Amino acid sequence: MIKIAGKDLATKRPSDLDAQLIASTGCGAKEIETLLGAGPDRAARALAPFLDKDAPALNVLAQQIAGDSAAIPAIRKLYADALAGPAAVEKVDAK
């Protein structure tokens, strides 16, 4: 779960995270800082692989990210947890 603009969005780490991210941005998960620093539209694309079909459209999500100072740190944490591996995610979820 991630909160963007005061709204909770369900998240799930996709098994093909790098493939989805490279297809939509040209960058892989380990290049997340490049994406997050490139503007809210890129941050929305970085978040998209984690979101389900009920998530806002990318342009709406980008606007929400732009207006929420906590959004980029939340996306960073989502990636840190995902890149740490499944055991780390399970540990976080168990808390």
pLDDT at 83: 86
pLDDT score of 4 more than 90: yes
Taking the whole predicted model, whether its pTM rises above 0.85 is answered as: no
pLDDT above 90: percentage of residues in the chain: 66
pLDDT at 35: 85
- In this prediction, residue 95 has a pLDDT band, given cuts at 50, 70 and 90, of very low
| Tens digit of each residue's pLDDT (9 = 90 or more) over 33-72 | 888 999 999 999 999 999 998 999 999 999 999 999 999 9
pLDDT score of 16 more than 80: yes
Tokens of 66: 């732009």
Q: Hey, what amino acid is at 72?
A: I
d(CA 29, CA 31): 5
d(CA 80, CA 9): 18
